[in-house]
Structure 1
Amino acid sequence: MTDYDLTARLPGPAGTSVPLLAVVDERLKTTSICFALAHGSRDDPEGRGGIAHLLEHLVMSCPLGGDGPAVSFSEYVERRGGQANALTGLEVMLYYAQMHADDAEDVAAALLRAVFEPALDSHTLDRERAVVLQELAAAAADPSDVVQDAVLAGLFPGHPLGRPVGGEPGQLAAVTAQELTAVHRDRFVRAPGALVVVGPRVPRVLAEAAVHEAGQPADPLPRVPPAAKGAEDPLPDPGEANFTWLCFGARSPRADVAGRAAYGVLAHLLGSSPSSLLYRTLRSEHGLSYSFHAWDRGYRESGAWRLLIGTEASAAGRVRTLVDELLTGVAGQGPAPDDFDAALRQAEMSLVLESETPLEYAKLIAERTCSTGRVWSLEDEIAELRRVGVDDVRRAAAHVRRELLLTVRSVAS
């Protein structure tokens, strides 16, 4: 097995290159491909929030060009027994598929056609816009989704990182096929990217001509420093709500800063594992919540550390106090050695587990490479985690507690 092999750098027309990264394991019967582009919702034109997400839908749903039946990329892959999907984030888009290795050549060629030559016609746009609006309506009805958008809006008011990934329904309704074509041509296909293959061999079509359409990235958006955080939401009135979602957030270091791994360890220290401080306090000792999760993400100018907790409205104040007490304790004395060791092991094992699932590994490599602008490897990430010390986590907790913002969304009685 070649654990991490930089097999080629494929030239673009303007002299740039897109890395083709391969993990070759001849024991595998499947091939997983992920193409990541450094383009996301933050790149949406002013007044047209959601274009990136809408473009993602169209790439996966437009009829493929070339010979053969006029089916979408998603259907093309699934008819061969594989799976395909895509994801739009704040700064990165992922297009990925897993198929039998015997079908990898055809699927890889279809993926390139879908990404670089989508048929962005008005009919397909109207159809997929209706689907996206349904998706947004479902998200708007889910307080656990809404509260996460709210915490980013509070942490980054007036900044592209604070805009919802899915966009605004009113703005999406005004998007034209011409606008989508311009975004695709001028920014989407010119964004830096990474193409990752995990399988028994690298499809020839990728090694020889994979991303010849990719070129120089468009002029980058100004890196405006995030504004001061917004006002914290009030806790719910138990007489007006049954259940409440609390999302705690704080700014963390940007993606390319060394040492930000301490914030990931802090997320595991207050995560959903039974070994975490939060689990033992919130669930085992007080029985206040069944559903909670902590995570950290780094972006170009800043990062965002978040903690999402679902609880009965009457318990929201107690939950808020316990979170503050836990962060205060970690920030003051630091985590106990055994708790620190458990969080560190959780952080490392979460990466190892993803690496042992081929499709998830392909997505992980592509997303991290695209986010940081440098080739990512599992070994490097684990080495960085192992350099994190108790004092690093203590300082991270002190920063999070100082910056902490709470957003609240409730289910009415």
Structure 2
Amino acid sequence: MNGAVPLPLGLADLSFSASGDSRVRRTVLPSGVRILSEQVPGARSSTIGYWVAVGSRDERPDTFGSTHFLEHLLFKGTTTRSALDIAVSFDAVGGEHNAVTAKEYTCYYAKVQDRDLPMAVEVLSDMITSSVIDPEEFETERGVILEELAMADDDPSDVVSERFFEAVLGDNPLGRPIGGSPETIEAATHDRVVKHYRENYRAQDLVITVAGAVDHDELVAGVERALIAAGWDLTLEAAPVERRVASGELIERGSPLVVVQRPIEQANILIGVPGIPAGDDRRSTMAVLNSILGGGMSSRLFQEIREKRGLAYSVYSFSPSYSDQGLFGLYAGCSPAKVAQVSELLVGEFRRFADGGVTADEMGRAVGQLSGASALALEDSDTRMSRLGRAEITLGEFADLDESLRRLNLVTADDVRELASELVSRPISIAAVGTIDENAFTGLV
């Protein structure tokens, strides 16, 4: 495979070899359902995911929290299976099953032995198409979700992360909490969540990805049988939903500083700026930048703040990206008395990175770290399944390990410095949780 392989929505069939002698195939049914598989030589298990490109950012004001609410409810039973039946299906074969709600998608997934993949297709198809969303179960799950939110609110790292997204992204829907808030979950109604389900769980919304031990033709046939049995008319033609398009516009900052006072032993600090979207050609450059600045134990932030000064146990940088926006952030947890010093060091290292550039040794370590981490991650079929989903839903192209490594090796020190300079020029936001004097951040934003 030379270069990334485009995934046009209008192309019905696609097949190609990828690194490691794996085989990637993609089928788009006339109904708009997209099915992708990566057959990995020697694999004895499979990971399967059912994706819809609907996340928390897509909710209307009257449906905030519905996407996460719905994720819970699809495990509570269908017209032919109870919640216990669903759980037993996977437990009885030693499989794993779960779901994740994100800002731009929801994914229901399972990992099973190769012989149990047909069962996983049947059960997940049933959940996606035929969830009952019983009113009594709805009220029971409301309590479960409120407890989940309360648990997150007790974790200062979760709290500071939510406040950070709000501070950087402002009124952009990406800045909202994925799980909603206690107020929005209390306000959610059964009818609104059912409507959300009916509007967004359609054939043209569905993407199915499988990696590991999988025969693509058998997979497609099994999916078609399961969806037809559920009552979906796969002869009705529909184009797959369009992918999101990046506007190229930076969002307006929500707030320069957000401090949440909590009587805890450690202060949690996040400092950052808008980043780059997932489809940006500089995403390999961003990966190298992040690795050098705060991506490991040899990174500048770790060495300066933890190793040399002993000011923090946990310190790192990160760069989440979405279809049209991204963030770049710096994190440290430290004593409340050290907040000013640690914050100045975080911002100072960020700015020095842009001013002074990087060394050849740092570039070599970063590329080596990222190359090794990428190769090791692909030992797991979960990672490969997720890579297929991200390629189909967000990127519109598939890049295998060889292509990813090629792109990494094309990144230059000048590329990294230029991107760092661009990021540093953007408005900084700070979020912090703990017993903190807001004056500790004077002059930083």
Map of 2:299 onto structure 1: 276
Q: What letter is aligned with 2:154?
A: A
| Shift of residue 375, structure 1, vs aligned partner | 3.2
Structure 1: segments with no counterpart, 5+ residues:
none
Map of 1:175 onto structure 2: 188
Map of 2:443 onto structure 1: none
Q: What letter is aligned with 1:41?
A: S
Map of 1:187 onto structure 2: 200
Cα 1:70–1:91, aligned 2, differ >3 Å: closer, same or farther? closer
CA distance in 2, matches of 1:95, 1:294: 29
323, 333, 340: which one pairs with 1:310?
A: 333
| Shift of residue 409, structure 1, vs aligned partner | 1.0
| Shift of residue 411, structure 1, vs aligned partner | 5.4
Q: What letter is aligned with 1:54?
A: F
Map of 2:16 onto structure 1: none
Q: Do 1:96 and 1:363's aligned partners in 2 also have CA atoms closer than 8 Å?
A: no
Map of 2:290 onto structure 1: 267
CA distance in 2, matches of 1:131, 1:376: 39
Q: What letter is aligned with 2:46?
A: T
Map of 2:318 onto structure 1: 295
Q: How does 1:211-360 map to 2 (within 5 A)?
A: 216=239, 225=249, 227-233=251-257, 242-360=265-383
87, 91, 100: which one pairs with 1:78?
A: 91
Cα 1:152–1:308, aligned 2, differ >3 Å: closer, same or farther? same
CA distance in 2, matches of 1:236, 1:285: 29
Q: State the secondary structure of the residue aligned to 1:47.
A: helix
58, 63, 75: which one pairs with 1:43?
A: 58
Q: Do 1:35 and 1:94's aligned partners in 2 also have CA atoms closer than 8 Å?
A: yes
Q: How does 1:105-120 map to 2 (within 5 A)?
A: 105-120=118-133
Does residue 135 in structure 1 map to residue 148 in structure 2?
yes
| Shift of residue 12, structure 1, vs aligned partner | 4.2
Q: State the secondary structure of the residue aligned to 2:84.
A: coil
- How many residues align? The count is 407
| Shift of residue 395, structure 1, vs aligned partner | 1.8
Does residue 5 in structure 1 map to residue 5 in structure 2?
no
Q: What letter is aligned with 1:20?
A: L
207, 214, 236: which one pairs with 2:220?
A: 207
CA distance in 1, matches of 2:61, 2:420: 35
Map of 2:13 onto structure 1: none
Identity score, percent = 23
Does residue 24 in structure 1 map to residue 40 in structure 2?
yes
Cα deviation, 1:222-273, whole Å, max 9, x if unaligned, reads 97755321332277999x7631111122112222221122222222122252
Does residue 198 in structure 1 map to residue 211 in structure 2?
yes
Cα 1:197–1:249, aligned 2, differ >3 Å: closer, same or farther? same
Q: How does 1:387-402 map to 2 (within 5 A)?
A: 387-402=410-425
CA distance in 2, matches of 1:122, 1:236: 36
Cα 1:389–1:83, aligned 2, differ >3 Å: closer, same or farther? same
Cα 1:257–1:272, aligned 2, differ >3 Å: closer, same or farther? closer
Does residue 63 in structure 1 map to residue 87 in structure 2?
no
Q: Do 1:192 and 1:216's aligned partners in 2 also have CA atoms closer than 8 Å?
A: no
TM (normalized to structure 1)?
A: 0.89
Structure 2: segments with no counterpart, 5+ residues:
1-18, 438-445
Cα 1:141–1:69, aligned 2, differ >3 Å: closer, same or farther? closer
Q: State the secondary structure of the residue aligned to 2:77.
A: coil
CA distance in 2, matches of 1:135, 1:124: 16
CA distance in 2, matches of 1:203, 1:127: 39
CA distance in 2, matches of 1:2, 1:329: 40
Q: Do 1:192 and 1:217's aligned partners in 2 also have CA atoms closer than 8 Å?
A: yes
418, 426, 434: which one pairs with 1:410?
A: 434
Q: Do 1:32 and 1:98's aligned partners in 2 also have CA atoms closer than 8 Å?
A: yes
Cα deviation, 1:306-328, whole Å, max 9, x if unaligned, reads 22221111111111111222122
Q: What letter is aligned with 1:63?
A: G
Map of 1:92 onto structure 2: 105
Farther off after superposition, 188-197 or 100-109: 188-197
Q: Do 1:237 and 1:313's aligned partners in 2 also have CA atoms closer than 8 Å?
A: no
TM (normalized to structure 2)?
A: 0.83
CA distance in 1, matches of 2:175, 2:49: 27
Farther off after superposition, 396-405 or 200-209: 200-209
| Shift of residue 358, structure 1, vs aligned partner | 1.7
Cα deviation, 1:52-98, whole Å, max 9, x if unaligned, reads 11111112x222443x7663534421232111111111112222111
Q: State the secondary structure of the residue aligned to 2:171.
A: coil
